[in-house]
Every structure is written in structure tokens, then in C-alpha cells.
Amino acid sequence: MDSRTKRTPMTWAALGLATSLVLAACAGDDGGGTGGGGGGDQAGEPERGGTLKIVGKGDVTSMDTAFSYYTLNYAIMRGFTRQLVTYPTTNNVDEAGQIVADMATEVPTVDNGGISSDRLTYTFTIKEGVQWNTSPPRQVTAADMERGIERLCNPVKPSGALSYYTSTISGMQQYCDGLSQVEGTAQAIGGYIRDNSISGINVVDERTIEFTLSQPAPDFLNIMAEYFATPAPEEYLQYVPSSQEFNQNVLSNGPYQVATYDPGNEIVLERNSAWNADTDDVREAYLDTIHVQEGLSQQSAYQQVSAGTADLLWDTPPPTAQLPTLYEDERLELVENGLFNKYIVFNMVSPNENSAMSKPAVRKAINFAVDKQAIIQVYGGPQIATPACQIMPETSRAHLDDFECPYATEDSAGDPDRAQQLLAEAGYPNGLTLKMKYRNTGNHPEVAETLKDSLSRAGITLQTQPVPGDDFYSGFLQVPDNARRGAWDIAAPGWIPDWFGLNGRTYLQPLFYSANLSRDASSWGTNYGFYNSEEVNTLIDQATTAENPDDAAAAFADAQRQIIEEAAIVPVMWQKNPQLHSRRVEGFAGYPNAIGDITHMWLSE
């Protein structure tokens, strides 16, 4: 990816004072991060009212913030959840990098006393008037915030980024070790949460909460801006986390509430009368209703938005064939959000082909075999994506600027001869057969066929099988039993960083950290194929506890170099996110979510 980021030095003190890092966005030379027609900076006056019609195929993974780690979830949760701190709605990446107060009265800093001088204690006070949509409305409390963090390590659907919290909050790992052992019933989970507490969380009074860290973490405010760090009312303990029953009983502390959730068919958000705009400096909430219609093909969704009978695409981009006609269209937004899409993950524990995926030579062979340019063409060519040979793009401080790719091929089009040579050296002179599961939505089927073609030239037979798009992560990749029984050998997920700058944690910890995982565990989070390297774990630990940002960035870079050397994945490309909206949509902003912030859009009738 071409360098478009102003990489200015950051002091560790500044990080500790929460001048913070960018969430899910890439910078432009002028500070902007979106392209296309530039529909985010309209001159018209905002209008209130109306229904935003969003169309697509797939569904959210859950309505539960404790578990959800998916772009669609984030797009919709911006409307009905709030956190202590968050990110502003903007098209300017410099603004997107600012942590701002949400439920909290202010962003804690050392200067205002919210962060202790040793940077181990963070204190937040929740604004009076932030309420749940209960009957009658009820103040969101510090105990609710504590409960929200405690639910992250439930034994049924634990958080995909649990290590963000267990590696920072004192005593949380021990708490989670206990909770992971209880029966997966609402009664058992609720009982444990009521009877136990995390030593590093202190409810000071009704609206004040303290977090004590096990060691300084300069990105802790970024971690608390995640949707995982959403308060949970007492009522949630009545339900199994992320269950169908839970999903039908979601409460709101944001400007909208869930009026309808019919999985796979529709989601409807309506105004939440308990929301007090005076307590929310982030969400404008111009719309009356947000209606998501699911189950549509990519072509059908595109046609509706193009014709103006719908307003916004959901989970599928415009068809690749249509993109060249849209590049100058004001309705198209190209959001540079650090999207690492695709990468190919290996199932390290698969028993298939004599445990082929556990062998570095086989993984290196696949790195040489993949035709990255062919996959880029599936997404629309170089205007949309650039080939990758490392994990973190140039927007990350841990990007390897002078890195010589060990798997480089001419024009990134693959080298089947070199791949065949490595396979022979690994004991597969006649090739091998691998299994791949892929999403049945968007460009994913064509990506699977493209991979099948490029691997076949190296003597690898790829057996592909579709998985429903909304089930790909939560119902398949994040289920370790599927990996252990060899249901898949390779998969092609994508990844969006949770913030920018010193953001090695957001790539490396969720995807590759395994210090607290075991092969027989019920969850590996988003370390889908159980990559397990003590050396990488140590480097990540060094980075997340470093005393200055340069040391942290260096350790993250070393970890990335080791991951690539071991061919733990195939980095394929970094992609811009193409989003199409109707002409009546105004106020589109690509940050903090590339789909667009539903609390900031309005409709020009």
C-alpha cells in the first residue's frame, strides 16, 4: 500500500494522556480517509426523520457486545450501545484518532487525575442521565460497567479479543479461568458473576469505576473504546450469552433500540425514548428508523441502492464489474480503513494429509503458490487493493519499511515451480489435497475459485465448501472442534485493526497470541488455526508492556517478522472498503466504521 499516513512521533507520555490512536482508518495526505464522490462532507443542513434502508445478504453474528467481533455488528451497535470512551464520527483520519468521552464525564488523563501517576489506575465517572431503556428508564451504573467486562470470558461465547482485557486488567485472567469452568447455563454463569469479582475493577460509587492494570498499557483507552467494553444490565444474567433468547431481549443505552431482530431476515432500530441527547456528544441520531433487510444477493442489493429504492449496502460491496463506472460517482465512498483482506489462515492442528498444515515447508509452498494479483482483480484491481507480504500496513508503526519479502514473486502472481519444489522437500512430491471453507456472500466464492486455480498449478487440490456468511466466523472458524477434526485446512478471513498508529496489539494479539490458550480449549478467540509460538508470545508481551513507543513498535515488528518467517499465514492484500449509498444519503462518514455511521447520516428528501 502506498504510504498516505503522516507518521509523526508520539511520546509515551502523550499516549498515556490519551491523545490516542486511530480506529479502523487510513490517512490521506490531507488528513482525509475517504474517496470516491466525497459524500461525507455535504453542505446541506441536516434533516431529522425518515427511515434509512440498508440492504445485503448476511447477518450479524450476535446482538451481544460481549462476543461480537464483526464489522456488521459494529455498524449497528453504534446505534444502540455506548461505551465509557469512543471515537468521533468523521471523514478526517486525524480527528478519528482522538479518544473522546462517551458515557464518561471526561477522558481520563494524568493531568485531570483520571490516570494515576504510575499509569496503573484509570478512573471513570458515568454521566448522570445515561439510561437503559427499561420501564421506567434506569441510570447506567458503575456496576453495569463492571458486569459488562466480567461477561467477556463467559464459557459459551467468550470475546474474540479477550486477551486485550486479560493482559491488561489486574486479576482478570484469574477471574476468567474460574468462569471458563462453570456450566454454560444462565444460572451458572450468572451465579459466578454475582459471587465473584475482578480484583482490578473497583466500583467506587454508583457512577464511578476504577480499573487497575497489571502493568502500564499505553493503549488501554483504545481497549476501553471497543464495543466489548459496553456495560451490561443485571437483566442480561437471565440469559445465556449470545443465545437466541438473549438476542431477543437486548437493552439499549444509545439513541436507538432494537425493535425487531429476525436473524437472517431483518433488523429494525427505532428511537430510544430513554436516550438523553444532552449526555451524548457523539451521536446526532437524525434518523427515526434504521431498517436492515437481509437475504438479498449482491446484485439485487446493488441494484436497489443504485436505483434509490434502498439507501446503503450492508455486507457486500458493489459488484466488481460495476466499480469502474462508479469511481467518479458521488455515491461511492472508498474508505481506507487498514483492511487486511484477504489473508489465508492455516489450521495448524488439522490431521489431514499427515498434518500437512503443521509443516512450515508446506505453508511456505502455499505462500509461493498464491496468485495475489488474481485475487486483487476479483475485488476491482489496483484502485481497490494492493498486494501484501506482511501483516501491518504502512499506517502502523510496526510496519517493516525495508522488509524483503521471503515469498516475493514476479508481479505478486505466484511461483508454482518454487511451490512444487518446497512441497517435494516436505514429503509431498505428488502434491496434496486440502479443504477450504469460504463465505457464500460477496466476492468470497470467486476468491475461493481463484485460490483453487492458483494452488492447482502447484499440485495442490483444493476442496471448497461454502458456509453462510453470517456463520463463517462465529459458527465455524471460531469453533476449535472444527479445526481439531480437520473440517478445514485453509480459510480466507479478513481483519480490520481496531485502531491505528501503535496498533500492533490489534493485529498480533487477537490473531497470533496463544500464551493463555490450550489445544483442547473450547475457544481460541480469533487465533482460528491455533498458531502457537513461544517466541512470538514473548515478543508481543514485550511490546504491550514496553516503557516507550519505539521499544513497543520494535517488538511488534520483530513479532511480525517471526510470524512471516514461520509462514503462519499468507498475507494477500490490503483493501479499501468500497461503500455505495443512495443520492438522498448525506452525512456519510467512514470512521469509526467503514459501512458508515448510522447515527450521523440523514436523508435529503
- Worst-scoring range by mean pLDDT, 3-12, 142-151, 532-541, 584-593? 3-12
Q: What is the mean pLDDT of residues 132-143?
A: 98
Answer whether residue 398 shows pLDDT above 70.
yes
For the chain, domain boundaries:
51-294+584-603, 338-577
What angle (nearest 5°) sits at the alpha carbon of residue 405, between those of residues 378 and 488?
55
Bridge-based pairing state of the strands 51-55 and 460-467: unpaired
Answer whether residue 522 shows pLDDT above 70.
yes
Answer whether residue 402 shows pLDDT above 90.
no
Q: What is the mean pLDDT of residues 377-392?
A: 93
Query: For residue range 156-192, what is the model confidence (pLDDT) as tens digits?
Result: 999 988 989 999 999 999 999 999 999 999 999 999 9
Non-local CB neighbours of 563 within 8 Å, separated by 6+ positions? 391, 508, 512, 531, 533, 536, 569
133 close to 257: Cβ distance less than 8 angstroms:
yes
Give the CA distances from residue 362 to residues 178, 234, 280, 421, 564, in Å, rounded to whole numbers and listed in that order: 38, 50, 53, 10, 14
Query: What pLDDT does 545 receive?
Result: 87
Please give the Cα distance from 292 to 59 (Å, whole number). Answer: 9
How is 103-171 classified by DSSP, letter by letter?
SBSS---TTTTSB-TTS-EEEEEBPTT-EES-SS-EE--HHHHHHHHHGGG-SSS--TTHHHHHTTBTT
Q: Which residue has the cell 466500583?
A: 203
Answer whether residue 309 shows pLDDT above 80.
yes
Q: Collapse the DSSP code of 491 into the 3-class scheme (helix H, G, I; strand E, B; otherwise coil) and give the result.
A: strand
Q: Which three cell numbers stand for residue 145?
A: 460497567
pLDDT band, very low/low/confident/very high, at 32 (cuts 50, 70, 90): very low
- The amino acid occupying position 526 is T
508 close to 391: Cβ distance less than 8 angstroms:
yes
- Domain 51-294+584-603 and domain 338-577, same fold? Reply is no
Please give the Cα distance from 422 to 309 (Å, whole number). Answer: 53
Query: What's the start-to-end Cα distance of the chain, in Å?
Result: 39
Q: Above pLDDT 90, what percent of the chain?
A: 78
Query: For residue range 438-460, what is the model confidence (pLDDT) as tens digits?
Result: 999 888 999 999 999 999 999 99
pLDDT band, very low/low/confident/very high, at 466 (cuts 50, 70, 90): very high
What is the tally of helices (H) and strands (E) in the chain? 19, 22
Give the CA distances from residue 335 to residues 40, 121, 226, 284, 311, in Å, rounded to whole numbers and listed in that order: 11, 36, 20, 21, 17
CB-based burial label for 266 (10 Å; 0-12, 13-18, 19+): middle
CATH number of 51-294+584-603: 3.40.190.10
Please give the Cα distance from 492 to 501 (Å, whole number). Answer: 25
Query: For residue range 64-121, what is the model confidence (pLDDT) as tens digits?
Result: 999 988 889 999 999 999 999 999 998 877 677 689 999 999 999 999 999 999 999 9
Q: Which residue has the cell 431503556?
A: 133
- Sheet strand arrangement including 332-340: 332-340, 573-580, 385-387
Q: What is the mean pLDDT of residues 374-386?
A: 93
Q: What is the mean pLDDT of residues 460-478?
A: 92
Q: Collapse the DSSP code of 327 into the 3-class scheme (helix H, G, I; strand E, B; otherwise coil) and give the result.
A: coil
pLDDT band, very low/low/confident/very high, at 547 (cuts 50, 70, 90): confident
pLDDT band, very low/low/confident/very high, at 27 (cuts 50, 70, 90): very low
Q: What is the mean pLDDT of residues 396-416?
A: 93
Judged by phi (left if over 0) then psi (alpha if -120 to 50, else beta), residue 525 lies in: left
- Sheet strand arrangement including 432-439: 460-467, 432-439, 490-491, 343-346, 569-571
598 close to 396: Cβ distance less than 8 angstroms:
no
Q: Distance of alpha carbon 94 from its chain centroid, rounded?
A: 20
- Worst-scoring range by mean pLDDT, 5-14, 276-285, 301-310? 5-14
The mean predicted confidence, pLDDT, of the chain is 90
CA nearest to 76, candidates 598, 605, 601: 598
CATH classification for the domain delimited by 338-577, as one of 3.40.50.410, 3.10.105.10, 2.40.33.10, 3.40.50.720: 3.10.105.10
Please give the Cα distance from 412 to 389 (Å, whole number). Answer: 9
Query: What pLDDT does 397 receive?
Result: 81
Give the CA distances from residue 508 to residues 24, 495, 533, 555, 556, in Å, rounded to whole numbers and listed in that order: 15, 11, 12, 11, 8
Q: Which three cell numbers stand for residue 82?
A: 455506548
Q: What is the mean pLDDT of residues 563-575?
A: 97
Query: What pLDDT does 31 receive?
Result: 32
Q: Which residue has the cell 445465556?
A: 240
